[in-house]
Chain A
Amino acid sequence: MYRYDEFDQTFVTQRVEQFREQVARRISGELSEDEFKPLRLMNGLYLQLHAYMLRVAIPYGTLSSRQLRQLGYIARKYDRGYGHFTTRQNIQFNWPTLGDTPDILADLAAVEMHAIQTSGNCIRNTTADATAGVAADEIADSRVYCEIIRQWSTLHPEFSFLPRKFKVAVTGAPGDRAVTAAHDIGLRMVRNDIGEIGFEVLVGGGQGRTPILAVTIREFLPAEHLLSYLEAVLRVYNQLGRRDNIYKARIKILVRETGTEEFARLVEEEWVHIRDSELKLPEDEIARIHAYFAPPAYEVLDATCPELDVQRAGNRAFDAWVRSNVEAHKQPGYAIATVSLKPHGGIPGDASAEQMERVADLADRYGFGEVRVSYKQNLLLPDLRQRDLFAVWQELTSAGLATANSHKLSDIIACPGLDYCNLANARSIPIAQMISTRFADLEREQEIGNVTVNISGCINACAHHHVANIGILGVDKKGKEFYQVTLGGAADQNAAIGDIVGPAFDEDQIVGAVETVVDVYLEKRTGSDEPFIDTYRRIGIKPFKEKLYATH
């Protein structure tokens, strides 16, 4: 994985000192809260309902075991012993004090981490496929380009005060696990006719109150032009994006109002001037970054592991975990395992300091010391020998991290909601807990199969409810929490925005409503090999609507 050199280390260290001085000016009263706000936001520090919240960047969701241990240390020393992994592959600490934050940033810098641009109207942490570099279906390793984007976008002088926040996602595989269609810029790695690596460039995706899927403005961008093209898109947006209305300030509105073709023309027009500037990536620079992501020293193993087959045959719980939580690895004899942060009835994405340390230890003992964070708010151990899976599973089980529900109904994405967030209209976490408790029977979950359930506590859609198979949005009606249901959304390569099913449900009805939706699916599906989304696409919303509102 990437390692800081003297430049990176000096940069984050100087950033810490700068923020330490800014905090001191705030505490002394020289800076008002209004003036301090953009400074703290640029360092990921929010003022939430009850306390400050610090959002730490985990660039492209990649962590070393040492970094994960340090996050555990921070959780214990400055917080209440836990952290919350987010849909943007970041981690949030919910209870730091203002005075402690410079020290936390220093502790992060010591392990090559930072909180730069995890908030504010700037280019945020790049979203990546959590299985980049190890996925069996990969065209190229997207981490290389995510790191190049990270460096280019860090304290970019021109793009630190954009109309609104700006998110980039990169996928290196045809199977899209980075939700590229729902980002301001989505980059899909492709090969052209002569085998060169490049990007299909999409712009204008986003969720929030106006969900829009990104549109393609360039079919093939040679990799060497990545930064100049991004700079051209950002320059057009910075000048023309709306600043009069926060709800219309994202690039998706500009693209929609300008028209895709005209927007693409504006970008190309700008790009012509800068494509051969200093931003052009020399081959040796790409190679230099690439070298950091060289594969670890894999053993030469058989693709199949008889030992594993025996273990699976002898233990139903383990077998269920392998079926749902283990995925194909590009290296024969290896596997990728999801460490579930979704225990039934638990808080999606939360991990205790002890759990972080346990996972870090497992990564060191079994997996080359690397851990990934997925946008689904789980952790991944990306490099496990298949023959070690049983031992890893046993240890995860003892740490409460082996729920066999990856991709299943209780693998719910939820934002912090009204329990923490001052934007929220309704609670998300308790709803997620109620639903996952209702579906806690693993056999039933396996029977239902793969389905995504995402719960956002307000229209900002942090939990991506628009692109969930079953999306739930918390709304406030005269001081009471209600939950609106959307069906048919998808976040993968066939991304779709869900359809609103009808009037919202109250807190007592919402779990039953989800169950009704599942019942309709089970009744209508052609067989257990037809997942929820396929059935929905075949039969449409009507049968669900009829059943939902007939019973209420």
Chain B
Amino acid sequence: MPLIKNGAAVQDPWFAATTEADLDRSGPLLVTLELWQQHRDRLVGRVGPLGVRLASAQSPGLIAADLDRLDLVALEFPKFTDGRAYSYARLLRERHGFTGEVRAVGHVLRDQIAFMLRCGFDALDVDERAAGGWQSATTAFSAWYQPATDAQAPISARRRYAVPARASQSVIRSEPVRVADAAELAVCAATWAY
């Protein structure tokens, strides 16, 4: 599975520990919440970057007090329809002020990338076919309606501060709709409707 970070495929330097024996390894180490909770003192004393992987039922509130010791939080999508991690990512960034890597792992599909980026994920463990999706995820829409974690000004703010929308590249393809004649327009009185 390629790791995509900031739009580019990168070598994943992290080792995912699943057993106690793995904890002796050097280098960046990603542990499950269970390993973190059982071996917290040992892990804190260790040299090298640390990360915790949370399953979809595990809220980041469980590690909130330890976030300043962590360089990575991996949030798991057991299947793409389980959307809890979107809230978790936002809470990590917006509530807990976590500035390390927030990585999406598990069933991460191309068409969810845009939502993930908006919620504060900055690294995605995706399948081969989805690897090209970063581009479309960041360009399919020139602006979004609601504020989220990303730095993009939402449409509400753009309206307020008069930031122009990027001109649409696509052509609306439609049969012409019937245009009301002058008499009808008079009936449709001023400003109202069409």
Contact = CB atoms under 8 A, between A and B. Distances in A.
Interface string B40-63: 000000000000000000010000
B172 A109 contact: yes
A188 to B, nearest CB: 24
A297 B189 contact: yes
A157 B158 contact: no
Nearest to A295: B192
A254 to B, nearest CB: 13
Contact of A107 (B111, B170, B174): B174
B147 interface: yes
B187 A297 contact: no
B170 A17 contact: yes
Given A10-B143, A364-B180, A106 B82 contact: no
A70 interface: yes
Contacts of A107: 173-175
A18, A64, A365, A369 pick with most chain B CB within 10 angstroms: A369
Contacts of A227: 146
A157 B118 contact: yes
A53 B175 CA distance: 22
24 contacts: A7-B143, A10-B166, A14-B168, A18-B140, A22-B111, A38-B81, A64-B194, A69-B178, A106-B174, A109-B172, A121-B81, A155-B141, A157-B144, A157-B146, A158-B119, A160-B115, A243-B84, A273-B95, A279-B147, A364-B188, A365-B184, A366-B187, A368-B188, A368-B189
A534 interface: no
A370 B86 CA distance: 39
List the 5 shortest-distance A-B pairs measured between CB atoms, nearest first. A161-B83, A369-B193, A157-B118, A110-B174, A296-B192
Interface in A235-261: 235, 238-239, 243
Nearest to B141: A14
B177 interface: yes
Given A7-B165, A111-B177, 5 more contacts: A10-B165, A155-B115, A238-B86, A364-B184, A369-B194
Nearest to A156: B146
B187 A364 contact: yes
A66 B177 contact: yes
Nearest to A103: B173
Given A365-B187, A370-B193, A110 B172 contact: yes
A127 interface: no
Contacts of A65: 193-194
Contacts of A64: 193-194
B146 A152 contact: yes
Contact of A235 (B87, B118, B136): B87
B155 A11 contact: yes
Interface of B: 59, 80-84, 86-88, 90, 95, 109, 111-112, 114-116, 118-119, 129, 136, 140-148, 154-160, 164-170, 172-175, 177-178, 180, 184, 187-194
Given A14-B141, A109-B172, A368-B193, A278 B147 contact: yes
Nearest to B81: A161
A6 interface: yes
A354 B146 CA distance: 39
A5 B141 contact: no
A168 interface: no
Given A106-B173, A157-B114, A297 B141 contact: no
Contacts of B188: 364, 368-369
Kindly name the residue among A7, A17, A368 whose own CB sees the greatest number of chain B CB atoms within 10 A: A7
Nearest to A281: B156
B109 A157 contact: no
A526 interface: no
B174 A297 contact: no
B84 A239 contact: yes
Given A162-B83, A365-B184, A368-B193, A11 B170 contact: no
A152 B118 contact: no
Contacts of A157: 86, 114-116, 118-119, 144, 146, 148
A176 to B, nearest CB: 27
Contacts of A15: 141
A396 B194 CA distance: 22
Nearest to A66: B194
Nearest to B166: A10
Contact of A6 (B160, B165, B169, B193): B165
A238 B83 contact: yes
A530 to B, nearest CB: 41
Interface string A127-166: 0000000000000000000000001111111111110000
B190 A297 contact: yes
Contacts of A9: 168
Interface centre among A1, A11, A161, A162 (most CB of B within 10 A): A161
Nearest to A371: B193
Contacts of A296: 189-193
Interface string A363-398: 011101110000000000000000000000000000
A9 B111 CA distance: 22
A368 B191 CA distance: 10
A423 interface: no
Contact of B80 (A11, A161, A285): A161
Nearest to B157: A278
Contact of A7 (B114, B140, B159): B159
Nearest to A298: B189
